[in-house]
Amino acid sequence: MKLYSPTTISEVRKKHGFHFSKSLGQNFLTDKNIIDKIIEKSMIGKEDLVIEIGPGIGVLTAAAAEAAGKVIAIEIDRNLIPILRETLDDYDNIEIINNDVLKIDFASLLEQNEQINGQKRESVRIIGNLPYYITTPIIMKILEDRVKADSITIMLQKEVADRIKAQPGSKTYGALSVAVQYYCTVAHVASAPKEIFVPQPKVDSTVIRLDVRKEKPVILSSEETFFAVVKAGFGQRRKTLLNSLTGIYGLTKDEVAVVMATAGIDPVRRAETLSLEEFAALANTIRAER
């Protein structure tokens, strides 16, 4: 069944009396090239476990199941579950979970799936055409929970992908760029115009691959302090760091000035110009002075 075909989507909807839910971010993919590219760039192997977020009617799920040892698809909309059972009936290596991905305990899910077809699991690949309304919370949950995934290949709103990819000095560089780049390297996979979705969203999309770093890019004495500094810095991004960091951990302006001098960072700089290494130097100095 060509699940990417708009005709199939329409037939499935009619047969099951299914209505698209805007609030669940349901925009289904209809472009075979993009689907193939997501699967190819996910580098899925036969001993791999794929976790898919938001399978919809199963277009990516079926393609992933061809390449993977096992696919676990997590879908919140219970109206899609009978549809998925039907569209994915040909595959015996797919498990469908009807739940909110934000409520999933990934650690225990991975523990239950250490063996794939009787073999030790190789890699964990997360994929998904993410629902736009919770793209950032999903990414941050996976990263902050330290889900033992090797790669995360996801379709998301172009504007959010641009923020994730952004480098210091650019307008889109912010707390999300720093956080994601701390945990992962980021690669552009494909651009996806809004016309390839049913129903058509208002914005274009981008597919990116996040490769989870085996080693962190900077040495931190405290991750908590690092993220607190990043948050405070970008919280008032128009202000100089001297001003935006005043008050953090009760530090006075003079104390922040000393910290910045020790870390070798000009106090008139703004957060959007700081590299990961500079944020780390600042956070480590604050930690040492406390």
Nearer of residues 127 and 256 to ligand SAM, judged by Cβ: 127
Question: Which residues on neighbouring strands pair with residue 186, listed in sequence order?
Answer: 210
Residue 203, interface with ligand SAM (CB under 6 A)? Answer: no
Residue 59, interface with ligand SAM (CB under 6 A)? Answer: yes
CB neighbour class for 28 (10 Å; exposed up to 12, middle 13-18, buried from 19) = buried
User: What is the DSSP track for 88-114?
Assistant: TTT-SSEEEEES-GGG--HHHHHHHTS
Q: CA torsion 276→164→232→225, rounded to 10°?
A: -50
Write down the residue that tokens 């008139």 correspond to: 268
The window from 52-60, 111-119, 162-170, 278-286 that contacts ligand SAM (CB under 6 A) reads 52-60
- Angle 32-42/59-67 helices, nearest 10 degrees? 40
Contacting residue, 34, 49, 51, 60, with ligand SAM by CB under 6 A = 60
Contacting residue, 49, 50, 62, 74, with ligand SAM by CB under 6 A = 74
Residue 28, interface with ligand SAM (CB under 6 A)? Answer: yes
Element (H or E) spanning 191, and its range?
Answer: strand 184-192
Which residues have a Cβ under 8 Å from the Cβ of 257 and sit 6 or more positions away?
Answer: 242, 267
Residue 77, interface with ligand SAM (CB under 6 A)? Answer: yes
Phi, then psi, of 115 in degrees rounded to 5: -105, 135
CB of 28 to ligand SAM, least distance (A): 3
Residue 64, interface with ligand SAM (CB under 6 A)? Answer: no
Report the site for ligand SAM in 129-188 (rule: CB under 6 A).
129, 131, 134
CB of 78 to ligand SAM, least distance (A): 10
Nearer of residues 34 and 230 to ligand SAM, judged by Cβ: 34
Residues that bind ligand SAM (CB under 6 A): 24-29, 53-56, 59-60, 74-77, 80, 100-102, 129, 131, 134
